[in-house]
């Protein structure tokens, strides 16, 4: 294809994407949206799909400048998808930890605490900067911070692969796999203001620094104390990661330590191995481990988490088997199945993981065409995956939720290795079919996986988890209720504990934070609620019952009344013990008289 035709093709792709962004901006979300995908106008998706189709084709078939432009087009399209809550004017996105992070950011802005008092203050500080320098609301500032922390993932995955192999096809494949956003699994890692997940997107920066240190020689550009520019880059990127979330810093220390250990073993058993020509990571292991240790041991929250992890491993009811069985039974009751959910959420990850696994086995057997240095670098990752996988198993026994966070980190590594693995697989396939035929097969398979991956970047009813859009109406409803409610009266929710909104509205450090009402808040007793015993559904006490559009969507549309029956909810309007005190499109609050007071 001529350069002129390619230029026209890129122009079409960027114009389609720009038109989609403009249309999305002109179609803001007026009320709660259960799905970012369904709420965004169809023409927007047509423009994004056209841009991605051009990007996939050019990333696989072009090299040099043209490939770089194609990768840039694809990365821009995926960033657009991730930015939809910002583009479409969401007040906020995230209803769990995200609201607590919003509260901490509010505390920093309002002077209730200093940023350095937080264990991992980077995202909160970035959101505060957008507020202070840009004059935008704190909620939107954090959504901007989400986008800023995401972009390095798309930039550095192909850069790492370029350093690993130097193969143009591998770089293109790695870029496409990065667009699938495999580290997000919507179980323990989420696309939102969730610092553990946000940290995953910075891991490729640290890996790039490590690979650059191993592969490039900087004997001339030495800095004081024997440092090289690349070792400084390792330290700075790792410290940045630590400030975003320390759990991913732990994984980086394990990765670097595994490489260092392999280098030490090879140095003891060989005198001419290619690894001996590369600089060692012994010093980096000690320095990074020391930095993390000094940071962690002074923090009570880290010590509590470590204690809970150890306790979980030795507890009688360890493991996630019982929880999985329970979830599978619930899915069956509402017409779904674990198999269906696995295909939707994890098929693309499973395909990539299988391909990478086969490739790594061939590398260990010496059956690939990698050069000696490239083989050594890939072997380093194999060595690192062993302890990382062991940590996954330990988490699975102790705290299953943490296991899926660990899985997110492992898939950052697999995303990087996928570029090299699939490129070598295509080289082998081209022996049996033509090179264009092999590229066509790759485009179809990767394109299908890309669609699956992007469909599950955000939570939505398609994975039985409605989107965590916090509309302005919902936020204002909670704020009004907490401002004018009786101070010591608890707040209850249908399937969702309202205390997180106290965090987001009032912060966690000020005098108005965690009022007596929200400190005692919780979920309703489903059995009592379904029987119409509204006053007795919360410990027989007077309470405020909050119901949002999110609750209605999750409990009645997605869960189909599995826990809370819609008829019982409708009965609130006619019950003399329940007085509706706030009502809007997305928010209702009832003042419920407890049975114990009658």
Q: Mean pLDDT per 10-residue run, the chain (598 residues)?
A: 87 97 96 96 97 96 94 97 96 93 94 89 95 93 97 97 91 97 95 95 97 74 68 94 94 97 92 85 94 82 63 53 54 77 92 96 88 90 96 86 93 96 88 85 94 95 93 94 85 86 88 63 86 89 92 92 91 91 93 75
587 strand-pairing partners: 548
Whole-angstrom Cα distance, residue 183 to residue 278?
A: 30
Pairing of strands 491-493, 522-523: parallel
pTM here?
0.93
Whole-angstrom Cα distance, residue 435 to residue 466?
A: 43
Residue 149 contacts residue 181 (beta carbons within 8 Å): no
pLDDT at 316: 46
Contacts of 85 (CB under 8 A, 6+ apart): 36, 93, 143, 469
How far are the Cα atoms of 152, 175, 183, 411, 530 from residue 178, in angstroms, in the given order? 11, 5, 9, 10, 46
582 strand-pairing partners: 589
419 Cα distance to chain centroid: 21
DSSP SS3 for 385: helix
Sheet containing strand 578-583, edge to edge, reads 522-523, 491-493, 543-548, 587-592, 578-583
Whole-angstrom Cα distance, residue 65 to residue 77?
A: 18
pLDDT at 318: 47
Backbone angles phi, psi at 433, to 5 degrees: -130, 170
pLDDT at 596: 66
Residue 406 contacts residue 388 (beta carbons within 8 Å): yes
Residue 515 contacts residue 507 (beta carbons within 8 Å): no
pLDDT at 260: 96
Nearest to 226 by CA among 238, 218, 237: 218
H-assigned helices in 62-137: 64-82, 84-87, 97-109, 122-134
pLDDT at 195: 95
How far are the Cα atoms of 188, 346, 404, 495, 585 from residue 183, in angstroms, in the given order? 10, 11, 9, 27, 35
On the 0-12 / 13-18 / 19+ scale of CB atoms within 10 A, 290 is exposed
Q: Which two tokens stand for residue 540?
A: 């027989």
pLDDT at 311: 62
Q: What is the largest CA-CA distance in the chain?
A: 86
pLDDT at 218: 53
């Amino acid at each position: 294809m001529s350069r002129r035709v390619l230029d026209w093709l890129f122009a079409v792709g960027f114009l389609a994407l720009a038109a989609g962004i403009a249309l999305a901006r002109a179609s803001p979300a007026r009320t709660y949206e259960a799905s970012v995908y369904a709420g965004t106008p169809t023409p927007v998706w047509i423009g994004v799909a056209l841009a991605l189709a051009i990007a996939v084709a050019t990333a696989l078939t072009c090299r040099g400048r043209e490939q770089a432009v194609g990768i840039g087009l694809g990365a821009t399209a995926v960033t657009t998808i991730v930015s939809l809550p910002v583009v479409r004017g969401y007040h906020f996105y995230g209803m769990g930890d995200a609201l607590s992070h919003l509260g901490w950011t509010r505390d920093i802005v309002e002077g209730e605490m200093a940023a350095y008092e937080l264990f991992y203050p980077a995202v909160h500080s970035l959101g505060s900067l957008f507020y202070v320098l840009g004059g935008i609301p704190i909620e939107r500032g954090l959504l901007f911070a989400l986008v800023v922390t995401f972009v390095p993932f798309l930039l550095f995955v192909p850069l790492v692969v370029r350093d690993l192999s130097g193969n143009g096809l591998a770089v293109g494949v790695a870029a496409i796999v990065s667009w699938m956003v495999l580290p997000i699994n919507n179980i323990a890692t989420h696309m939102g203001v969730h610092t553990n997940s946000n940290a995953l997107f910075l891991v490729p920066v640290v890996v790039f620094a490590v690979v650059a240190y191993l592969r490039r020689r900087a004997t001339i550009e030495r800095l004081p104390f024997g440092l090289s520019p690349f070792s400084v880059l390792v330290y700075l990127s790792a410290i940045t990661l630590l400030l975003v979330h320390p759990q991913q810093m732990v994984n980086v220390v394990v990765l670097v330590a595994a490489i260092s250990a392999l280098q030490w073993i090879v140095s003891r058993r060989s005198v001419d191995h290619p690894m001996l020509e590369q600089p060692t990571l012994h010093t980096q292991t000690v320095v990074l481990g020391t930095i993390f240790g000094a940071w962690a041991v002074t923090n009570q929250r880290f010590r509590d988490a470590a204690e809970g992890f150890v306790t979980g491993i030795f507890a009688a009811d360890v493991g996630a088997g019982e929880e999985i069985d329970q979830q599978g039974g619930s899915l069956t009751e509402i017409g779904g199945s674990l198999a269906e959910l696995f295909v939707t959420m994890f098929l693309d990850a499973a395909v990539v993981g299988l391909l990478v696994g086969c490739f790594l086995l061939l590398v260990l057997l010496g059956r690939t065409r990698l050069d000696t240095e490239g083989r050594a670098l890939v072997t380093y990752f194999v060595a690192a995956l062993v302890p990382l996988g062991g940590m996954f198993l330990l988490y699975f026994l102790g705290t299953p939720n943490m296991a899926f966070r660990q899985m997110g980190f492992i898939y950052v590594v697999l995303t990087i290795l996928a570029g090299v693995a699939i490129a070598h697989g295509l080289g082998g396939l081209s022996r049996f079919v033509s090179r264009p035929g092999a590229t066509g097969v790759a485009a179809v398979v990767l394109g299908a996986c890309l669609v699956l991956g992007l469909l599950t970047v955000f939570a939505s009813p398609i994975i039985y988890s409605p989107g965590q859009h916090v509309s302005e109406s919902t936020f204002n409803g909670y704020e009004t209720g907490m401002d004018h409610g009786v101070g010591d009266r608890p707040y209850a929710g249908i399937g969702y504990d309202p205390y997180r909104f106290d965090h987001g509205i009032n912060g966690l450090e000020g005098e108005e934070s965690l009022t007596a009402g929200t400190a005692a808040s919780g979920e309703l007793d489903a059995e009592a609620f379904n029987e119409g015993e509204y006053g007795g559904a919360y410990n027989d006490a007077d309470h405020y019952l909050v119901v949002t559009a999110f609750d209605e969507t999750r409990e009645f549309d997605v869960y189909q009344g599995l826990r809370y029956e819609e008829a019982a909810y409708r009965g609130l309007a006619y019950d003399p013990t329940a007085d509706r005190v706030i009502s809007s499109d997305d928010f209702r609050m009832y003042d419920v008289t407890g049975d114990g007071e009658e």
